[in-house]
Structures are given as C-alpha cells and as structure tokens.
A = this chain, B = another copy of it.
Amino acid sequence: MNKSFEGYESSSSGKAVPRSLQVADQLRESILSGGIPPGERVNEVQLSQRLGVSRTPTRAALHALAAEGLLDYETNRGFTVREYSPQSVAEGYEIRAVLEGLACRLAAARPPDPKVTALFEDALALGDDVVAGFEGTTAQMEAYRQSNVLFHTAVITAADNQMLEDTLRLALARPATSLRNIVSFSQNPVRRRHDDHHRIYDAIRAGDGWRAELLMREHVTSVKYNELERRPAR
C-alpha cells in the first residue's frame, strides 16, 4: 500500500508501479480535489478507458478506495463517491484533533530519536523562514503549506505506531480534512499556527505529553472553526 501521507508515488523510483496503484492514486486525487463530485457513480468501463487501462486494475483500485471509505459500494450497482455532510467535515477535524493529540502524547513518551528530531527541526526551520517575511505570496503560501505537512508528518513519525499511522492516514484522506488544506493565509493566523508548532515540539521534547496533547487538540480544533467560518453553510 502507498505509505505516504501526501505522497506522490513517483514512477522514477525504478520500481514498476502497478497500474492498480496508479489508478487508485489518480482516483483518490480526483476525489479529494473535488474533480469527481460526491454522489456521482463511478463507471468502471469509462474510468478504465479514460486512464488507458483495462477493467482489472481499475476494479482493484475501486475496491481499495471503497475500503478506505472514499467510495460507497453496492452489489451489482458499482461504486459512488461518498458524500460527507458539512457537519461531517467539521467532525473530521475533531477526529484529527484527538488522534494527532494522541500522537503527540505518545511522541512525548518516547526517548528522543535523532532522525525524528531532524524531521521536526527541518519542518520548523522552514516555517521560521516563511513566517519571518510573510507577505502572502503564492510561493510563501506553498512553502507554509509544505512546512505544515512536514510538521504534522513528523508528529506521526515520532509517535512511531503503525496502527495510529494507518488510522490517521484514513482520517486525513478526506475531502477538506487534508493536511494540505490550509484555511487561512492571513499573517496572524499563520504566525499563530507556526507558534503552536513550536510549542508542541517543545512539549514533546520536554516529555510533557499532557501539554503536547492539549496543544495539538486546540491547534487542530482551531482550524475547524476557521473552516466553518469560511464556508458557513455550503
């Protein structure tokens, strides 16, 4: 299975990537980016032709995405893109909040690992740079987005738990709940969120799991409220 959170499964790795995985990745991307509207039926034959593969790998991908919860499946009727109510999306952030909070608590309980430390410090350093001269340019927003992904990925890595990783990947692979989805790019929210990152890392490093957990919960929950503000009813 694809083990990256925001991963591009580059075919340049030398390994031949099976079509079934390619189809799964492309389809996932289409769904997450809204390219295929929720509720729409996914036709095996059409999808196969559009992607230039036969039905067999397509079917494998569809079954996988259904197991991930991105698609609904009905016998003899095929797959449809699952719909999530706005309320459901909001509660998706709650899920992220408690799970990433747990990840912080577990991370704080672990002895420091140089590799993990490097991940955190890279993420924070990138964020520091962005925040220093933040003016809201596209490049800066992209850089901040990246530092955000790096930081949250570092937390998950630091927790070092396969099941949590799986569970979180599922929770993150939802429209509008993704890590890439930075809600507000105005200066103060960005500064504040970056400051949160520093505090969370400090708490983890200090072994203060309780503080790290609460900080992360609030950190993610605040994004939920930003999101709700941005799209009041939809």
Is A220's beta carbon under 8 Å from chain B? no
Nearest CB in chain B: distance from A71 CB, A: 8
Contact in complex: A94, B75 (CB < 8 Å): no
Per-residue CB contact flags for chain A residues 84-118 toward chain B (1 = under 8 Å, else 0) read 11011101101100110110001000000000000
Count, chain A residues at interface, CB 8 A: 47
Main secondary structure of the interface of A (DSSP, over half): helix
- How many identical subunits does the complex contain? 2
Q: Name the B residues within 8 Å of A69 (CB-CB).
A: 1, 163, 166
Contact in complex: A1, B66 (CB < 8 Å): yes
Is A226's beta carbon under 8 Å from chain B? no
Q: Which of A12-20, A46-54, A148-156, A192-200 is the contact stretch?
A: A12-20
With A63-B63, A82-B162 given, name 14 new contacts (CB 8 A): A1-B69, A20-B63, A21-B75, A60-B60, A64-B67, A65-B67, A88-B161, A88-B162, A89-B163, A91-B164, A92-B163, A94-B102, A95-B163, A98-B101
Listed in ascending order, the chain A residues whose CB lies under 8 Å from chain B are: 1, 15-18, 20-21, 56, 59-61, 63-69, 72-73, 75-76, 82, 84-85, 87-89, 91-92, 94-95, 98-99, 101-102, 106, 161-164, 166-167, 170-171, 174, 177
